[in-house]
Amino acid sequence: MITGHMNSRLAILLRTILPAHRFYARKFAGLDLDDWARLPFTTKDDLLANQAEHPPYGELLTEPLENYTRLHQTSGTTGSPLRWLDTPASWEWMLGCWRTMYGMVGVTASDRLMLAFSFGPFLGFWTAFEAASRLGCLCLASGGLSTGARLKMLLDNRATVLLCTPTYALHLAECAREQGVAIRGVLRAIIVAGEPGGSIPATRARIEDAWQARVFDHTGMTEIGPLAIECSARPGGLHVLEDDYFAEVVDPVKGEPVSPGDIGELVLTNLGRLGSPLIRYRTGDFVRVDPSPCPCGSPWMRLEGGILGRTDDMIAVRGNNVYPSALENVIRRFPEIGEYRVTIDQTVSLTAVRVEFEASIDGLEERLAIAIRDALLFRAEVSRVPTGSLPRFEMKARRVVVKR
């Protein structure tokens, strides 16, 4: 439901960016801007097509190019990267989003933050780093360092909060075990993003057990901004920053709102990134809104289970719709299993699923195959491979390989 207050904010947004923003001026031409529900959605394909037609940045800017001071881009793993520019004002808005999130998880000026990512052109934790430094935290940038060097930096500087992907939190713990370094209780919190693992119970439990630290899940997108985080009172869900975003959850086929508690696609409008805004942006993320009050007292929309999957991740396996996060939750129940890889072979008449894993003991193949069958209703071909033979990941893990 759009309240009168939110109607006013959306109207201000449209008045501010139009007609200067050529992409939306053309997209909304002739439409009643007061009829929000009838405004067309924006998709990533729309943005990529516009940048391809008007390289390199498309018609996606509200202001003259000389007003922009930051460029970030998506990884482009499924196609061309999407380039995104920000003005100083838009950048400040994103730092404000992070200040809000830090407050929700209890980060203060006394914390020392280790940011374990490469500081490349993707947005990643750039805003998290700058917002934390403004808060007064000691911020440890570790771009370009090996995992061993990052672990040493974390310990030498007595970091209290780690920011990384769920995969990398596990990889750092694996490195510590190999070096015989004690890490349990060193950190008090780990903020994870980039993958669904932070809200996958088995993955989350493994990270928290390895570090003896509380995991906080977070999600954001290069093109939309830092948008949601888990509160300290209720694990396993994400609060959308509704002071900064207008969020809708819609049926991915019909585009109509779904009822609270039903799974739908998250659609977002960012209210403060005026230099490069997105309006009714289809994120491709499947979510479920929890209608019950949260113990933290926040009135903001809470996404139960975080990001449940993506519209382009779903794989049909012998009549079952399967998301990689569901497989991960089963595999991570086995503490003996380290790294793993899933191959989905769609070149055969019946889709085949192969799971390779590294483990510290023998004899897990049949147990894992049965667990997958019981939880997901299909039989996978499961095999153990030598320790260290599967790739490790610093940023978003690519453990699922699809052969079409």
Report the CATH number at residue 136: 3.40.50.12780
Which residue, 324, 326, 329, 328, is CA-closest to 313?
A: 324
Q: Record the tokens describing residue 215, joined without a space.
A: 């995991």
**19 within a domain of the structure (yes/no):** no
The number of folded domains in the chain is: 2
Residues in the chain: 404
Nearest-angstrom CA–CA distance, 339 and 331: 10
**Pick from 310, 336, 355: which residue ends a domain?**
310
Q: Are residues 320 and 196 part of one domain?
A: no
**342 within a domain of the structure (yes/no):** yes
Q: Are residues 228 and 187 part of one domain?
A: yes
Whole-number pLDDT of residue 79? 60
Q: Are residues 184 and 263 part of one domain?
A: yes
**Pick from 267, 292, 310: which residue ends a domain?**
310
* Beta carbons of 279 and 247 less than 8 angstroms apart: no
For 353-403, what is each residue's pLDDT tens digit?
999 999 988 889 999 999 998 988 888 999 999 999 998 877 677 888 888
Q: Are residues 295 and 344 part of one domain?
A: no
Q: Are residues 266 and 158 part of one domain?
A: yes
For 130-174, what is each residue's pLDDT tens digit?
999 999 999 999 988 999 999 999 999 999 999 999 989 999 999
Per the model's pLDDT, the better-predicted residue between 403 and 287 turns out to be: 287
Whole-number pLDDT of residue 219? 96
- The domain containing residue 321 runs over which residues? 315-403
Q: Are residues 298 and 150 part of one domain?
A: yes
**178 within a domain of the structure (yes/no):** yes
**385 within a domain of the structure (yes/no):** yes
Whole-number pLDDT of residue 395? 67
Which residue, 117, 63, 64, 58, is CA-closest to 84?
A: 58
**Pick from 276, 310, 344: which residue ends a domain?**
310
The half-sphere exposure of 303 on its side-chain side, counting CA atoms within 13 A, is: 29
**125 within a domain of the structure (yes/no):** yes
Q: Which residue matches tokens 């992907």?
A: 165
In order of 4, 69, 149, 205, 248, the CA distances from 12 in angstroms are 12, 24, 48, 44, 19
**103 within a domain of the structure (yes/no):** yes
User: pTM of the predicted model, to two decimals?
Assistant: 0.85
Whole-number pLDDT of residue 127? 96
Q: How confident is the model at residue 315 (pLDDT cuts 50, 70, 90)?
A: confident
Q: Are residues 322 and 306 part of one domain?
A: no
Q: Are residues 300 and 267 part of one domain?
A: yes
Q: Which residue type is seen at 376? A: L
**60 within a domain of the structure (yes/no):** no
Helix (H) or strand (E) holding 86, with range, is strand 83-86
Q: Are residues 319 and 284 part of one domain?
A: no
Q: Are residues 333 and 273 part of one domain?
A: no
CATH of the domain at 337: 3.30.300.30
Q: Are residues 243 and 227 part of one domain?
A: yes
* Beta carbons of 275 and 67 less than 8 angstroms apart: yes
For 338-352, what is each residue's pLDDT tens digit?
899 999 888 776 788
**2 within a domain of the structure (yes/no):** no
Q: Are residues 303 and 339 part of one domain?
A: no
